[in-house]
Amino acid sequence: MANSKKRPEIEALIQRAANLMETLPYIRKFYGKVMVIKYGGNAMVDEKLKESFAKDIVMLRYIGMIPIVVHGGGPQIGDVLKKMGIESRFHQGIRITDKATMDVVEMVLVGKINKEIVGLLNQHGGRAIGLSGRDGQLLEAKKLDPEKVSFDRGVSEIIDLGRVGNVTKVNTDLIELIEKDNFIPVVAPVGFSEQGEALNINADLVASALASALHAEKLVLLTDIEGVKDKKGELIAKLKATQIEKLIADETISGGMIPKVKCCVKALENKVKSAHIIDGRVEHAVLLEIFTDKGVGTLINYEHN
Protein backbone atom coordinates (compact mmCIF):
# COMPACT_ATOMS: atom_id res chain seq x y z
CA MET A 1 0.00 0.00 0.00
CA ALA A 2 2.82 2.43 0.88
CA ASN A 3 4.49 1.89 -2.50
CA SER A 4 1.26 2.49 -4.43
CA LYS A 5 0.74 5.83 -2.67
CA LYS A 6 4.24 6.98 -3.56
CA ARG A 7 4.01 5.94 -7.18
CA PRO A 8 2.34 9.14 -8.52
CA GLU A 9 4.99 11.23 -6.79
CA ILE A 10 7.76 9.13 -8.31
CA GLU A 11 6.16 9.38 -11.75
CA ALA A 12 6.07 13.16 -11.40
CA LEU A 13 9.75 13.21 -10.45
CA ILE A 14 10.63 10.96 -13.38
CA GLN A 15 8.79 13.34 -15.71
CA ARG A 16 10.70 16.29 -14.28
CA ALA A 17 13.96 14.43 -14.87
CA ALA A 18 12.89 13.66 -18.44
CA ASN A 19 12.13 17.36 -19.03
CA LEU A 20 15.59 18.28 -17.75
CA MET A 21 17.21 15.66 -19.98
CA GLU A 22 15.56 17.23 -23.03
CA THR A 23 17.76 20.28 -22.49
CA LEU A 24 20.99 18.24 -22.42
CA PRO A 25 21.68 18.39 -26.20
CA TYR A 26 21.27 22.18 -26.12
CA ILE A 27 23.49 22.57 -23.04
CA ARG A 28 26.15 20.43 -24.69
CA LYS A 29 25.90 22.36 -27.96
CA PHE A 30 26.00 25.85 -26.43
CA TYR A 31 28.32 25.27 -23.46
CA GLY A 32 30.93 28.03 -23.33
CA LYS A 33 29.22 30.02 -26.11
CA VAL A 34 28.40 33.74 -25.98
CA MET A 35 24.74 34.76 -26.05
CA VAL A 36 24.06 38.48 -26.51
CA ILE A 37 20.56 39.30 -25.32
CA LYS A 38 18.86 42.66 -25.86
CA TYR A 39 16.45 43.27 -22.99
CA GLY A 40 13.60 45.70 -23.56
CA GLY A 41 9.89 46.24 -23.90
CA ASN A 42 7.30 44.87 -21.50
CA ALA A 43 9.81 42.40 -20.07
CA MET A 44 11.49 45.40 -18.42
CA VAL A 45 8.25 46.66 -16.85
CA ASP A 46 6.12 43.69 -15.76
CA GLU A 47 7.36 42.40 -12.39
CA LYS A 48 6.75 38.73 -13.15
CA LEU A 49 8.50 39.01 -16.52
CA LYS A 50 11.43 40.87 -14.93
CA GLU A 51 11.87 38.03 -12.46
CA SER A 52 11.64 35.29 -15.09
CA PHE A 53 14.15 37.12 -17.31
CA ALA A 54 16.62 37.44 -14.45
CA LYS A 55 16.29 33.74 -13.60
CA ASP A 56 16.80 32.80 -17.27
CA ILE A 57 20.03 34.81 -17.53
CA VAL A 58 21.42 33.50 -14.24
CA MET A 59 20.62 29.93 -15.26
CA LEU A 60 22.45 30.35 -18.57
CA ARG A 61 25.56 31.45 -16.68
CA TYR A 62 25.35 28.60 -14.17
CA ILE A 63 25.10 25.91 -16.84
CA GLY A 64 28.17 27.20 -18.65
CA MET A 65 26.93 29.68 -21.24
CA ILE A 66 28.10 33.30 -21.42
CA PRO A 67 25.12 35.69 -21.44
CA ILE A 68 25.73 39.37 -22.14
CA VAL A 69 22.76 41.68 -21.59
CA VAL A 70 22.20 44.92 -23.50
CA HIS A 71 19.22 46.98 -22.38
CA GLY A 72 17.10 49.79 -23.73
CA GLY A 73 15.01 52.30 -21.81
CA GLY A 74 13.16 54.65 -24.18
CA PRO A 75 9.87 54.84 -22.23
CA GLN A 76 11.70 55.43 -18.94
CA ILE A 77 13.75 58.22 -20.54
CA GLY A 78 10.55 59.79 -21.85
CA ASP A 79 8.96 59.71 -18.39
CA VAL A 80 11.91 61.47 -16.76
CA LEU A 81 12.13 64.08 -19.52
CA LYS A 82 8.43 64.84 -19.06
CA LYS A 83 8.86 65.26 -15.30
CA MET A 84 11.76 67.64 -15.94
CA GLY A 85 9.76 69.66 -18.44
CA ILE A 86 11.96 68.69 -21.40
CA GLU A 87 10.09 67.96 -24.63
CA SER A 88 10.69 64.58 -26.30
CA ARG A 89 11.21 65.00 -30.04
CA PHE A 90 11.62 62.21 -32.57
CA HIS A 91 12.55 61.85 -36.23
CA GLN A 92 11.63 58.54 -37.87
CA GLY A 93 11.49 56.88 -34.47
CA ILE A 94 14.89 58.22 -33.34
CA ARG A 95 15.02 60.48 -30.30
CA ILE A 96 16.52 63.88 -31.13
CA THR A 97 19.15 64.21 -28.42
CA ASP A 98 20.51 67.63 -27.54
CA LYS A 99 22.94 68.10 -24.62
CA ALA A 100 20.22 68.43 -21.98
CA THR A 101 18.44 65.34 -23.30
CA MET A 102 21.72 63.41 -23.46
CA ASP A 103 22.35 64.16 -19.80
CA VAL A 104 18.98 62.63 -18.96
CA VAL A 105 19.53 59.67 -21.31
CA GLU A 106 22.81 58.83 -19.61
CA MET A 107 21.39 59.37 -16.14
CA VAL A 108 18.43 57.06 -16.77
CA LEU A 109 20.20 54.34 -18.78
CA VAL A 110 23.46 54.17 -16.83
CA GLY A 111 22.52 55.47 -13.40
CA LYS A 112 19.08 53.94 -12.98
CA ILE A 113 18.02 51.16 -15.35
CA ASN A 114 21.44 49.52 -15.61
CA LYS A 115 21.80 49.33 -11.84
CA GLU A 116 18.27 47.98 -11.42
CA ILE A 117 18.99 45.13 -13.86
CA VAL A 118 22.31 44.37 -12.14
CA GLY A 119 20.55 44.28 -8.78
CA LEU A 120 17.82 41.99 -10.13
CA LEU A 121 20.34 39.51 -11.55
CA ASN A 122 22.35 39.53 -8.34
CA GLN A 123 19.21 39.04 -6.29
CA HIS A 124 18.57 35.79 -8.16
CA GLY A 125 22.05 34.39 -7.65
CA GLY A 126 24.02 35.96 -10.49
CA ARG A 127 27.22 37.97 -10.40
CA ALA A 128 26.29 40.88 -12.64
CA ILE A 129 28.26 44.03 -13.31
CA GLY A 130 26.97 47.15 -15.05
CA LEU A 131 28.76 48.92 -17.88
CA SER A 132 28.15 51.69 -20.35
CA GLY A 133 29.87 51.96 -23.68
CA ARG A 134 32.14 54.61 -22.19
CA ASP A 135 33.62 52.17 -19.64
CA GLY A 136 36.92 50.74 -20.83
CA GLN A 137 36.25 52.51 -24.16
CA LEU A 138 33.85 49.66 -24.90
CA LEU A 139 31.79 51.35 -27.64
CA GLU A 140 33.42 53.81 -29.99
CA ALA A 141 30.79 55.65 -32.00
CA LYS A 142 30.27 58.27 -34.69
CA LYS A 143 27.62 60.93 -34.51
CA LEU A 144 24.98 60.60 -37.21
CA ASP A 145 25.19 63.24 -39.93
CA PRO A 146 22.37 65.81 -40.20
CA GLU A 147 19.70 64.63 -42.61
CA LYS A 148 17.94 66.63 -45.30
CA VAL A 149 14.20 66.06 -45.17
CA SER A 150 11.93 67.18 -48.00
CA PHE A 151 8.33 68.21 -47.43
CA ASP A 152 5.41 69.06 -49.72
CA ARG A 153 5.72 72.03 -52.12
CA GLY A 154 9.47 71.60 -52.45
CA VAL A 155 10.25 72.75 -48.90
CA SER A 156 13.14 70.97 -47.19
CA GLU A 157 14.76 71.10 -43.77
CA ILE A 158 18.02 69.85 -42.26
CA ILE A 159 17.31 67.63 -39.26
CA ASP A 160 20.18 67.28 -36.79
CA LEU A 161 19.56 64.37 -34.42
CA GLY A 162 22.12 65.73 -32.00
CA ARG A 163 24.05 63.28 -29.86
CA VAL A 164 22.84 60.14 -31.61
CA GLY A 165 25.43 57.76 -32.95
CA ASN A 166 26.28 54.44 -34.56
CA VAL A 167 28.86 52.01 -33.23
CA THR A 168 32.12 52.16 -35.19
CA LYS A 169 34.23 49.87 -33.03
CA VAL A 170 33.79 47.51 -30.10
CA ASN A 171 36.75 47.09 -27.76
CA THR A 172 36.04 43.69 -26.23
CA ASP A 173 38.90 43.53 -23.69
CA LEU A 174 36.77 44.61 -20.72
CA ILE A 175 33.88 42.27 -21.57
CA GLU A 176 36.25 39.32 -21.98
CA LEU A 177 37.99 40.10 -18.69
CA ILE A 178 34.69 40.31 -16.84
CA GLU A 179 33.17 37.13 -18.23
CA LYS A 180 36.30 35.09 -17.41
CA ASP A 181 35.49 35.67 -13.73
CA ASN A 182 31.91 34.46 -14.30
CA PHE A 183 30.38 37.92 -14.08
CA ILE A 184 27.38 38.76 -16.26
CA PRO A 185 28.01 42.03 -18.16
CA VAL A 186 25.00 44.36 -18.40
CA VAL A 187 25.60 47.06 -21.02
CA ALA A 188 23.82 50.42 -21.33
CA PRO A 189 23.70 51.65 -24.96
CA VAL A 190 25.77 54.81 -24.52
CA GLY A 191 28.93 55.20 -26.60
CA PHE A 192 31.55 57.88 -26.97
CA SER A 193 32.72 59.95 -29.92
CA GLU A 194 36.24 60.88 -31.00
CA GLN A 195 35.73 64.12 -29.08
CA GLY A 196 34.81 62.17 -25.94
CA GLU A 197 31.13 63.13 -26.04
CA ALA A 198 28.53 60.65 -24.84
CA LEU A 199 26.31 59.42 -27.69
CA ASN A 200 22.87 57.83 -27.51
CA ILE A 201 22.82 54.57 -29.53
CA ASN A 202 19.92 52.28 -30.35
CA ALA A 203 20.11 49.21 -28.09
CA ASP A 204 19.45 46.77 -30.96
CA LEU A 205 22.43 48.23 -32.83
CA VAL A 206 24.63 47.88 -29.76
CA ALA A 207 23.54 44.27 -29.22
CA SER A 208 24.27 43.45 -32.87
CA ALA A 209 27.69 45.12 -32.72
CA LEU A 210 28.63 43.31 -29.50
CA ALA A 211 27.47 39.95 -30.87
CA SER A 212 29.53 40.53 -34.01
CA ALA A 213 32.68 41.58 -32.16
CA LEU A 214 32.46 38.70 -29.68
CA HIS A 215 31.65 36.06 -32.35
CA ALA A 216 28.52 35.17 -30.42
CA GLU A 217 26.60 31.97 -30.93
CA LYS A 218 23.30 33.84 -30.73
CA LEU A 219 21.87 37.34 -30.84
CA VAL A 220 18.48 37.47 -29.10
CA LEU A 221 16.21 40.54 -29.29
CA LEU A 222 13.26 40.66 -26.87
CA THR A 223 10.22 42.48 -28.28
CA ASP A 224 6.58 43.09 -27.43
CA ILE A 225 5.26 41.03 -30.35
CA GLU A 226 5.47 37.37 -31.29
CA GLY A 227 8.21 37.87 -33.87
CA VAL A 228 8.28 38.36 -37.65
CA LYS A 229 4.85 37.72 -39.19
CA ASP A 230 3.68 36.90 -42.69
CA LYS A 231 1.00 38.85 -44.59
CA LYS A 232 -1.72 36.82 -42.86
CA GLY A 233 -0.40 37.85 -39.47
CA GLU A 234 0.95 34.40 -38.69
CA LEU A 235 4.30 33.99 -36.98
CA ILE A 236 7.23 32.99 -39.19
CA ALA A 237 9.09 30.63 -36.85
CA LYS A 238 12.19 30.20 -39.06
CA LEU A 239 13.51 32.59 -41.65
CA LYS A 240 16.52 32.59 -43.94
CA ALA A 241 18.58 35.78 -43.85
CA THR A 242 18.55 35.74 -47.66
CA GLN A 243 14.76 36.17 -47.62
CA ILE A 244 14.79 39.40 -45.61
CA GLU A 245 15.21 41.95 -48.43
CA LYS A 246 12.38 40.41 -50.43
CA LEU A 247 10.07 40.48 -47.40
CA ILE A 248 10.91 44.14 -46.82
CA ALA A 249 10.36 44.96 -50.49
CA ASP A 250 6.88 43.40 -50.55
CA GLU A 251 6.08 45.02 -47.15
CA THR A 252 5.63 41.74 -45.31
CA ILE A 253 8.22 43.20 -42.96
CA SER A 254 7.51 46.87 -42.25
CA GLY A 255 7.72 49.65 -39.69
CA GLY A 256 9.77 49.07 -36.55
CA MET A 257 10.52 45.47 -37.50
CA ILE A 258 12.75 46.58 -40.40
CA PRO A 259 15.64 47.90 -38.28
CA LYS A 260 15.42 44.84 -36.03
CA VAL A 261 15.79 42.33 -38.86
CA LYS A 262 18.57 44.43 -40.38
CA CYS A 263 20.43 44.28 -37.06
CA CYS A 264 20.03 40.51 -37.15
CA VAL A 265 21.30 40.22 -40.73
CA LYS A 266 24.30 42.41 -39.97
CA ALA A 267 25.23 40.17 -37.04
CA LEU A 268 24.85 37.06 -39.20
CA GLU A 269 27.09 38.62 -41.84
CA ASN A 270 29.69 38.98 -39.09
CA LYS A 271 29.66 35.25 -38.29
CA VAL A 272 27.06 35.20 -35.50
CA LYS A 273 25.49 31.74 -35.86
CA SER A 274 21.84 32.68 -35.40
CA ALA A 275 19.62 35.63 -34.51
CA HIS A 276 16.29 35.51 -32.72
CA ILE A 277 13.45 38.01 -32.43
CA ILE A 278 11.34 36.70 -29.58
CA ASP A 279 8.22 37.51 -27.60
CA GLY A 280 9.42 39.00 -24.32
CA ARG A 281 5.87 38.94 -22.97
CA VAL A 282 6.19 35.18 -22.48
CA GLU A 283 7.62 34.05 -19.15
CA HIS A 284 11.06 32.44 -19.50
CA ALA A 285 11.13 33.44 -23.17
CA VAL A 286 14.94 33.26 -23.32
CA LEU A 287 15.09 29.68 -22.04
CA LEU A 288 12.22 28.58 -24.25
CA GLU A 289 13.92 30.01 -27.34
CA ILE A 290 17.32 28.48 -26.61
CA PHE A 291 16.30 25.10 -25.19
CA THR A 292 13.37 24.09 -27.40
CA ASP A 293 13.01 23.41 -31.13
CA LYS A 294 9.82 25.46 -31.45
CA GLY A 295 10.92 28.52 -29.48
CA VAL A 296 8.83 31.64 -28.86
CA GLY A 297 9.68 33.85 -31.80
CA THR A 298 11.48 33.99 -35.13
CA LEU A 299 14.84 32.31 -35.73
CA ILE A 300 16.92 33.92 -38.49
CA ASN A 301 20.01 32.26 -39.95
CA TYR A 302 21.65 31.23 -43.23
CA GLU A 303 20.94 27.53 -42.84
CA HIS A 304 18.21 25.55 -44.60
CA ASN A 305 15.02 25.69 -42.60
CA neighbor of 69 nearest in space, from 30, 110, 36, 118: 36
Interatomic CA distance for residues 53 and 70, integer angstroms: 13
What letter represents residue 239's amino acid? L
CA neighbor of 158 nearest in space, from 145, 168, 169, 177: 145
pTM: 0.90
Tens-level pLDDT at each residue, the chain (305 residues): 445 455 778 888 888 787 778 888 999 999 999 999 999 988 898 899 999 999 999 999 999 999 999 999 989 999 999 999 998 888 878 899 999 999 999 999 999 999 999 999 999 999 999 999 999 999 999 999 887 555 555 555 678 889 999 999 999 999 999 988 899 999 999 999 999 999 999 999 999 999 999 999 999 999 999 999 999 999 999 999 999 999 999 999 998 899 999 999 999 999 999 999 999 999 999 999 999 888 889 999 987 44
CA neighbor of 99 nearest in space, from 199, 191, 189, 167: 199
Query: What is the C-alpha R_g of the chain?
Result: 21
Beta strands 218-223 and 274-279, pairing class: parallel
Interatomic CA distance for residues 207 and 192, integer angstroms: 16
Per the CB < 8 A criterion, the answer to whether 206 and 175 are in contact is no
Beta strands 297-301 and 238-240, pairing class: parallel
Interatomic CA distance for residues 153 and 225, integer angstroms: 38
Interatomic CA distance for residues 207 and 77, integer angstroms: 19
Q: Is 60 helix (H, G, I), strand (E, B) or coil?
A: helix
Beta strands 90-91 and 94-95, pairing class: antiparallel
Q: Domains in the chain, please, with CATH?
A: 31-140+169-301 (3.40.1160.10)
